[in-house]
Amino acid sequence: MGIKQFFTKQAAKYATRNLPEDQKEMINALVSQDPKLFEKIAKETQELIKAGKPEMYASFEVMKKYQKELQDIAGKAGLQKTVER
């Protein structure tokens, strides 16, 4: 595991610290499938927040942009049904 992957995993752990254990596992599985995608998502979300958009709206906008990629990753991780709810 490279240092960048390590820090991405640590950031995901920190961001999910208040979630139930099953949701933490799901998110960690998704992040470990494609850490670079989640780095892009985080960067774009932060840019929107800095531009004045509320965090929740920024997150939704960026996640919607990458919805197809996220669904593909969820399918590979065996989480497709969970994500489509």
- Tens digit of pLDDT per residue, the chain (85 long)? 577 677 777 777 767 777 888 888 888 888 888 888 988 998 999 999 999 999 899 989 999 999 999 899 888 877 655 444 4
For 57, the token pair is 């709206």
Rounded Cα distance between 78 and 30, Å, is 10
What is the pLDDT, as a whole number, of residue 53? Answer: 94
What's the chain's Rg over C-alpha atoms?
13
Long-range Cβ pairs for the range 42-50 (8 Å, 24+): 42/11
Rounded Cα distance between 69 and 85, Å, is 16
